[in-house]
Amino acid sequence: MRWGFEAMSKLAVIAGWAVVAAAGETTQVREDFARDPRWDGRNNVSAPAVRRMTVQDFGYSATNHAGGEPGEIGGRISRSLTPAFYARPIPPRTLNDRLRASGRLAVTQSEGGSGALIGWFNHDSRGWRTPNSLVFRIDGEANKFRVFFEYGTQTWKTGGGTTFDGDYQTTKTPLHATDGTPHTWTLEYDPDGAAGRGEIIFTLDGMAYRAPLVPGHRAEGAVFDRFGVMNVQISGSPLTLWLDDIEVEGTKATFDRNPGWEGRGNRGTLEERVVRPHHDFTWRNSAHAGGSPGEIGGIAWRAEQDRPSEACYYGARVGRLTLDDELEASGRMCLRSAAVDSGILFGWFNSGTYIGTPPRSFVGMFIEGPSEVGHYARPVWADLGKGQGVMPRGPIIHPDGKVHQWRLRFSPKAADGRGRITLTFDGELLEVDLPLEARKAGALLDRFGMVSWQRGGQFVEMYFDDLSYTAGRDWDAAGIDDDPDPEEQGLSRSGPTGYADG
């Protein structure tokens, strides 16, 4: 059901929607998404046509690829959003415990975008990067691999290190061939290292690498109850990995016989529903964001800057709005799953200039953040020219499906007439003032909803419900004919991907 409200108004019924509006005024529109609102979308639904099959086939094997006597664990491990592991249950360990494990590994096949995790984790660890984990990661390329080591707290904070100097172009980078050569490894954690912050020490073929925990992360805590192999939980490709003679906290497994470790999702074939870079973000008859069935949401990827065809939006037509209008929106949202380097924009935007970083003419919030934190909710703006601004940080959102309440407001008369964006998220208040140059440049807004962030990266799975948002003076309740003519807005077409200043 969709409603518009204004104090002095007349009531009309258009196409089954009750509409209250006053000529010459903005209006508040309310959506409970009990039925499909038929919002406008560009490239927001493309995933159903690109399903693919993912095979997991790892566990105990009587082979000896990793060296030594016959018997080892491993096999084909595929990156996938669906968790899969083969591991030994262990007594719970935390970031206050000293940990040590060692063994041999061999990689016999890899593709670009492949990977696997080896180390301590929790039986319900989910996502990328993985909470409640302390692991090293095999990161596969075509016939080659690198090794990283990393951790995740129980509050989704992450950190770690690499086995190279950080420069992918340097000749010092140990890029290993997937030729089956056995490599020795040791993974240690010292809770007293790095002056009590906690430190990871990873050794590969006799070369040691160290990484301290980020300040405060040890106090955030983590709980590990498994040790073994787990897939990297993001869309990708397979690699073939083998491990032998693993010793964990003084207990050695030679795998001369089946150890009977626990396996979940480690054998079988599944249909992958999330494939980069195909978006699947629209109306759903679900209730992830709370309330009655009916909401908007799904999978949205960060688009590549040099591939404008990957950019997308999904939004309600709101007539014509500018930075001279009072804008207000509120609702509920949840982040069900997400990968590192992912995010979306949500707010008022222009359907002709939605391609950009950020798109020109935008007022709203930005769900994104650095990998060691997770995702922030932050106010953001972009004018019709090249001006833009975003808060450096904000409330942290975890991809745990928790429902959040938010309210967004733009006040054009605040900050001495420069304008101010106020975001209240779960009771936390953030404010950002626009510069005078932005108010002079202005913005032209004709949609309200989601816009992809164009800086390359991964995906978020988000849902929104029970929205209230400002629509313009010429808002059409039936959502039929309020598409603005770009030439009338002072814009001219600039190729097939958008518009530029006229």
Give me the torsion for CA of 323, 307, 334, 117, rounded to 10°.
Answer: -150
Compute the average pLDDT of residues 266-275: 85
Mean pLDDT of all residues in the chain?
Answer: 85
Show me where the domains of the chain are located.
53-272, 279-473
The per-residue pLDDT for range 34-43, each reduced to its tens digit, is: 999 999 999 8
Listed in sequence order, the DSSP H helices in 65-177 are: none
- 53-272: which CATH topology? Jelly Rolls (2.60.120)
The per-residue pLDDT for range 349-385, each reduced to its tens digit, is: 999 988 877 689 999 999 987 766 779 999 999 999 8
CATH 1.10.260.40 fits 279-473, yes or no: no
Q: Name the pTM for this structure.
A: 0.77
The per-residue pLDDT for range 442-490, each reduced to its tens digit, is: 999 999 999 988 777 778 899 999 999 999 877 765 443 344 444 444 3
Give me the torsion for CA of 319, 324, 326, 328, rounded to 10°.
Answer: 60
Domains 53-272 and 279-473 agree in fold: yes
pLDDT at residue number 489: 41
Could you tell me which residues come within 8 angstroms of residue 16 by beta carbon, excluding any fewer than 6 positions away? none
pLDDT at residue number 23: 36
352-387 in b/e burial notation, b at 16+ Cβ within 10 A?
A: bbbbbebbbbbbbbbbbbebbebbbbbbbbbbbeeb
CA gap 161, 147 in Å, rounded: 9
